[in-house]
Structure 1
Amino acid sequence: MSGVSVNTIKGSASVPLCVDLDGTLLCSDLLYETGMAFLRKRPFRFYQPFVWLAQGKPALKQNLAHVADIDVSVLPYNQQVIDLIDAARQEGRSIVLATASHHSLAERIADHLKLFDMVLATDSERNLSARCKHDLLVKHFGPGGFDYVGNSRDDLHIWEGARRSYVVDPEKDVEKQAKALGNVEQVIKSDSVGLRDWARALRLHQWAKNVLVFVPLLAAHQLTNPALLWNGILAFLLFGLCASSVYLLNDLLDLADDRHHHSKRNRPFAAGRLSIKSGLVAFPVLLLTAFTGALWLLPWQFTGALGIYYVLTLAYSLALKRYMAVDVIALALLYTIRIIAGAMAFGLEMTFWMLAFSMFIFLSLALVKRYAELHEAKKKGRTEKTRGRGYYPSDLEMISSLGAAAGYLAVMVLALYIHDQTTIRLYAHPHVMWLACPLLLFWVSRVWMLAHRGEMHDDPVVFAVKDRASLVVGMLFCLVFWGAA
């Protein structure tokens, strides 16, 4: 990288454009990016960054940059800022990357983008932010000898010494304070963050899974009991809050993997639509609300089941999902725990048939999820192990065999349940229930055939909620049991 001499600054075209990185050129913050990457890599050493911080911010940034494995090629960059840089380069201006992020990461980003003539960044001796950055830029280019592109309250100090200011997606009240300096040339704003972004991050559509908490109530023929029904609604909502908390944390830990995925890269955190900082605030609030509500409003057994769900989900996010077979069994357990939690909320006993059916049908769905991911990878000609998973595209045939077998075993368990003498005594017309078997056989077969054709969404629950045939089968399934009652 070549430096820029003060003597070269004569006309407007000679004034360098200095660009901030975090929150400006990058729709994220590298300190948080490296922090989450470190936590993903070494979850049991979560305390280490605080030890480094005690030695000063430069030490924290240097150690995180050294340990964390950040792929700068997939980071979410602000295209409007890149366009601004391109326009300045066409005018013959020098472009300087001036950032408080560690110089090793800043240099890698500059090498990747190939837009900068000079890089100024934090090193082992100084944290290049606020006044420190202002003084360094003035030292290099003189007072008013540079234009500066930034976004935060810290950048107000730099804008004071700049010739012109460019304000990008400013923090609260920063735009007003920047304009008061009288040198704002342009304010660049991306699309505002909306409820749709948070709805996607919280995975509200995945709350459909929580309907499983009502299964024990339905099986016990108590769906019309107002007190128990109210408990079910509470259990549904609290499970949703807990699950959304886990989804947020999972997305924060999976930023690198998601950005390499054909569809997950559009998730709000991976795409830079939502800040990592906001996610770190939101997920513990949701979690605390879920467990406080569970302890206060429902039996303690439900809270215990919710706790097991959270621990297993956390283990899945941190480690289990990277191990072949373990991941799909864990997913099947997470579905089954919802049914167990429902039984706890209603004070009902779980039956052998319900647990056996749940494990097999949800194992089949978990394998569908993996099959869809691998099918997409194979379609793109990939042969290596799927990023963040324990499978190769060549495993497709075996996964489909295991998944279809698990689905048909669920049908067999349903048939044995219908034939059980205890079940026969529970229903006025038990023979009607046999219609449920061909319905389930059709649905399992159809799901796997569509997956084989590459027409399956990578999440089978989302597919089932949107698929007309699945909804019809679900309605008919319920009608069969209603007619048998």
Structure 2
Amino acid sequence: MSDIDVAVLPYNQQVLELMARAKANGRHLVLATATHRILAERIADHLGCFDEVLSTDNTLNLSAHRKKDTLVDRFGEGGFEYVGNSGDDIEVWRSAESAVVVNPERGVERRARKAANVTAVLETRRSQLRAWMKALRLHQWMKNILVFVPLLASHNLTDLSLLAEGLLAFLFFGICASSVYLLNDLLDLNDDRHHPTKKHRPFAAGIIPIKLGLLAFPGLLFTAFLGAWLLLPIEFLGVLLVYYALTLGYSLWLKRFMAVDVIALASLYTVRIIAGAAALSLPLTFWILGFSVFIFLSLALVKRYAELHEARIQGKKERARGRGYYPSDLEMISSLGAASGYMAVMVLALYIQDDATRTLYSQPQIIWLACPVLLFWITRVWLLTHRGEMHDDPVIFAAKDKVSLLTGGLLAIIFFIAT
């Protein structure tokens, strides 16, 4: 509780305006909440508009009928107007002179109108469907396309049975990843509320109630593991467990350590490729793993650079909140990131000379054309990042950037011709 910064909590602007008007009219404002007194008083001090605080303490949980009894004892039956949103507030509204309902839970407005004199209903929530899509990061599912890399590398893309298993792996990986994104946002609430863009995430902004997230993330996780256990090889389930453990470790601990965080991020991408091989019972090669580790480490460093670049623009010099880096680390991060990207191209060049490559491609020398194309893309990504023009997620940037899409198409044509 002591870690909560009340200055960045998602306050409802319409409710604040309602309180300001009441204060201007000489009304006595009371913060009556089931929140513990320590936090309630900090919120009241921050807002600076309340005359009195009634809250939970070590002897009383001020919710539902207990809140009603306290308010009636203090102001008398029908002697107060009450603003609330939940089913627990029905009891309070029964004894209030009038009721203001704010962003009510399902069925609460109907019950409130039966129980009390509802004078206003404030509905300020955005589309819940859109908010859930954002919270589940459905757009991030494109990263799970990596599970098909072993299928492409083995030239078995036309095998419909393998393709079907790949689609199942893609689905279960996506569900598991969404579960992790929900958990990560719940764990990072305080840090996200201090971030210039992450503060708009559904949980940080108060668009989706935290209690719904606490129900959703284990449900999704159970669905992903049950589906993987029933429909795919047990090896895939094992890799999925490794992915979840690594992601959980990253969310709880690893992301706070310099260098460890980006290596963990790069590993999470590589694990997707390993999961694809496990789901399809296809072999993995040194070349696929080597290339993926270096290219994804480069992209992870792009992500960190973009975050720190924004902090430097804002004039910050202290360590980034929840991270192990300072804005002064930018130059070193860019050097390491560009070098890692070029190492990925080196792995690709060495792959062309491997004897196994000659058995997969009729014209493996054509793949040499992919090297300058990939060098161009990596160089461009880092130059844009250096200029501050990079999205905080380079994978999302690549999916929307026309030049990146054209580069991907050109690489696909090169490998097709080589085949």
Using the alignment, how far apart are the partners of 2:127 and 2:13 within structure 1? 17
Higher alpha-carbon deviation: 447-456 or 285-294? 285-294
One-letter amino acid of the structure 2 residue matched with residue 369 of structure 1: K
Which of 274, 285, 290 is the aligned partner of 1:351?
Answer: 285
One-letter amino acid of the structure 2 residue matched with residue 165 of structure 1: A
Structure with higher RCO (Cα < 8 A, 6+ apart)? 1
Hey, what does 1:291 align to over in structure 2?
225
TM-score (norm 2): 0.98
Hey, what does 1:439 align to over in structure 2?
373
Measure how far apart 1:194 and its partner are: 2.4
Which of 74, 78, 87 is the aligned partner of 2:8?
Answer: 74
Which of 334, 340, 343 is the aligned partner of 1:406?
Answer: 340
Measure how far apart 1:163 and its partner are: 1.2
Partner SS state of residue 268, structure 1: coil
The unaligned stretches of length 5 or more in structure 2 are none
Describe the superposition over 1:350-392 as per-residue Cα deviations: whole angstroms up to 9, x where unpaired. Answer: 1011111010000000000000000000010000000000000
Alignment partner of 1:131 is 2:62: no
8 Å CA contact 2:270–2:289 kept in 1: the answer is yes
Hey, what does 1:57 align to over in structure 2?
none
8 Å CA contact 1:100–1:122 kept in 2: the answer is yes
Hey, what does 1:20 align to over in structure 2?
none
Higher alpha-carbon deviation: 101-110 or 421-430? 421-430
Alignment partner of 1:336 is 2:270: yes
8 Å CA contact 2:175–2:221 kept in 1: the answer is yes
Partner SS state of residue 35, structure 2: strand
8 Å CA contact 2:172–2:228 kept in 1: the answer is yes
Partner SS state of residue 154, structure 1: helix
Q: How many pairs are equivalent?
A: 419
8 Å CA contact 2:94–2:116 kept in 1: the answer is no
1:69-108 equivalences in 2 (<5 Å): 69-108=3-42
Partner SS state of residue 384, structure 1: coil
Partner SS state of residue 87, structure 2: coil
Hey, what does 2:154 align to over in structure 1?
220
Using the alignment, how far apart are the partners of 2:47 and 2:53 within structure 1? 12
Using the alignment, how far apart are the partners of 2:371 and 2:11 within structure 1? 52
Hey, what does 2:402 align to over in structure 1?
468
Partner SS state of residue 145, structure 2: helix
Hey, what does 1:196 align to over in structure 2?
130
Higher alpha-carbon deviation: 150-159 or 473-482? 150-159
Measure how far apart 1:170 and its partner are: 1.6
Which of 169, 172, 193 is the aligned partner of 1:235?
Answer: 169
Which of 194, 201, 205 is the aligned partner of 1:267?
Answer: 201
8 Å CA contact 1:193–1:274 kept in 2: the answer is no
Measure how far apart 1:250 and its partner are: 0.3
Using the alignment, how far apart are the partners of 1:438 and 1:296 within structure 2? 44
One-letter amino acid of the structure 2 residue matched with residue 343 of structure 1: A
8 Å CA contact 2:146–2:273 kept in 1: the answer is yes
Higher alpha-carbon deviation: 421-430 or 186-195? 186-195
8 Å CA contact 1:302–1:341 kept in 2: the answer is yes
One-letter amino acid of the structure 1 residue matched with residue 13 of structure 2: Q
Partner SS state of residue 93, structure 1: coil
Describe the superposition over 1:167-226 as per-residue Cα deviations: whole angstroms up to 9, x where unpaired. Answer: 111222221221123421111112354211111001011111101111111111111111
TM-score (norm 1): 0.85
Q: Runs ≥4 in structure 1, deviation > 2 angstroms?
A: 191-194
Measure how far apart 1:323 and its partner are: 0.2
One-letter amino acid of the structure 2 residue matched with residue 69 of structure 1: D
Hey, what does 1:312 align to over in structure 2?
246
Higher alpha-carbon deviation: 154-163 or 114-123? 154-163
Hey, what does 1:369 align to over in structure 2?
303
CA 1:383–1:192: 2 relative to 1, 3 Å? closer
Describe the superposition over 1:237-284 as per-residue Cα deviations: whole angstroms up to 9, x where unpaired. Answer: 111001011000000000011111111111111101111111111111
Hey, what does 1:171 align to over in structure 2?
105
1:42-53 equivalences in 2 (<5 Å): none
Using the alignment, how far apart are the partners of 2:87 and 2:361 within structure 1? 68
Aligned-residue identity in percent: 65
Hey, what does 2:214 align to over in structure 1?
280
One-letter amino acid of the structure 1 residue matched with residue 319 of structure 2: K
Hey, what does 2:92 align to over in structure 1?
158
Measure how far apart 1:97 and its partner are: 0.6
Hey, what does 1:19 align to over in structure 2?
none
Describe the superposition over 1:128-165 as per-residue Cα deviations: whole angstroms up to 9, x where unpaired. Answer: 11222112112221222111111122212111221111
Using the alignment, how far apart are the partners of 2:125 and 2:83 within structure 1? 18
Which of 239, 249, 252 is the aligned partner of 2:186?
Answer: 252
Using the alignment, how far apart are the partners of 1:372 and 1:352 within structure 2? 31
Measure how far apart 1:424 and its partner are: 2.0
One-letter amino acid of the structure 1 residue matched with residue 348 of structure 2: L
Using the alignment, how far apart are the partners of 2:64 and 2:129 within structure 1? 32
Hey, what does 2:312 align to over in structure 1?
378
Hey, what does 1:43 align to over in structure 2?
none
The unaligned stretches of length 5 or more in structure 1 are 1-64
Using the alignment, how far apart are the partners of 1:99 and 1:341 within structure 2? 48
Hey, what does 1:60 align to over in structure 2?
none
8 Å CA contact 2:192–2:198 kept in 1: the answer is yes
